[in-house]
Amino acid sequence: MSPAAAAAAATAPMIDVQDLYKSFNGFPVLKGVSLQMAEGTTTVVLGGSGSGKTVLMKHIMGLFRPDQGRVIVDGQDISTMGRQELSTFRERMGMVFQSAALFDSMTVGDNVAFPLREHGNLSEQEIAEKVKKTLAVVDLHDVEGKYPAELSGGMRKRVGLARAIIRDPKIVLYDEPTTGLDPLTTESVDEMILHARERLKVTSVVISHDIGSAFHIADRIAVINEGRIVEEGAPAHVRKSQEPFTRQFLATWFART
């Protein structure tokens, strides 16, 4: 690789969404979304219900194919991949669901070990050691034998993150991680996301409508409305935005702070 090519590769975004369009049953949901996410950063996609943010995330995961446009992840165009190739590629990603999506009938240890047992060939001893180490990364200790119902909301979120990162992904996606949480638990989840970026150097994408959380955790914020990115930049830039929807969307939060 030439020095110029190496420099270009080094500065290429981890996730590059290019002019993305998607409709369902003739109803347009994404209308030309373009967004770049740099390696090792946290990007929050902020918007209200029905704005298109979840559909955008599902394109980044390769669960939807665009009607038009491309999704480049870690240098590869996932919008053209076949099912098997996508399945293998998704091993580079971890997903933290809105409700943590833990298996209630499984212990914490078994929940976190689940991806390793489904896709790996480690011994049970190796799995147990990796589970313990991964739980420690999210500041959980000696909880392997507990069940999800025995944990607080914040602890369940941490277990969900541990399961998402146990296979050492380069990208972690969070789906509305603070929805329905009280302020103290929200703060705990925010710190969890920040620590994951600092300790693991992962690229994080957070889908949210929680404005306060977005300003706390984001390196960059993208505001989406009616299928279009209407504002994008560092939190300080977005906070001062003059774009009409962004100003209106942020106004209710500013009024409470």
Least confident segment among 33-42, 171-180, 248-257 = 248-257
pLDDT given at position 49: 86
Least confident segment among 141-145, 160-164, 179-183 = 179-183
pLDDT at 143 over 60: yes
What average pLDDT does the segment 44-61 reach?
Answer: 93
- What's the whole-number average pLDDT of the chain? 89
Which carries the bigger pLDDT value, residue 44 or residue 91? 44
Edge-to-edge strands, sheet with 27-37: 27-37, 15-24, 68-73, 76-77
Residues 70-114 have pLDDT tens digits of 999 999 999 889 989 998 898 889 988 876 688 999 999 999 999
Q: How confident is the model at residue 5 (pLDDT cuts 50, 70, 90)?
A: very low
What average pLDDT does the segment 3-8 reach?
Answer: 38
Q: Which CATH class is domain 15-103+151-256?
A: alpha beta
pLDDT at 4 over 50: no
Does the model's pTM come out above 0.75?
yes
pLDDT given at position 10: 53
What percent of the chain lies above the pLDDT cut of 90?
65
Tokens representing residue 169 in the block: 């992904």
pLDDT at 254 over 70: no
pLDDT at 8 over 60: no
How many CB atoms are closer than 10 A to CB 255?
7
What average pLDDT does the segment 150-163 reach?
Answer: 89
Q: Are 217 and 195 in contact (CB under 8 A)?
A: no
Give the list of residues 6+ apart from residue 98 with CB closer than 8 angstroms, or none.
Answer: 175, 176, 177, 179
Give the list of residues 6+ apart from residue 129 with CB closer than 8 angstroms, or none.
Answer: none
For the chain, the domains span 15-103+151-256
pLDDT at 2 over 60: no
Exposed (0-12), middle (13-18) or buried (19+): which is 164, by Cβ within 10 Å? buried
pLDDT at 120 over 80: no
Rg (CA), the chain: 19
pLDDT given at position 1: 36
- Using alpha carbons, list the distances in angstroms from residue 16 to 1, 81, 217, 219, 224: 22, 16, 21, 16, 16
What average pLDDT does the segment 131-148 reach?
Answer: 93
Beta bridge partners of 206: 44, 174
Which carries the bigger pLDDT value, residue 180 or residue 24? 24
Which carries the bigger pLDDT value, residue 217 or residue 254? 217
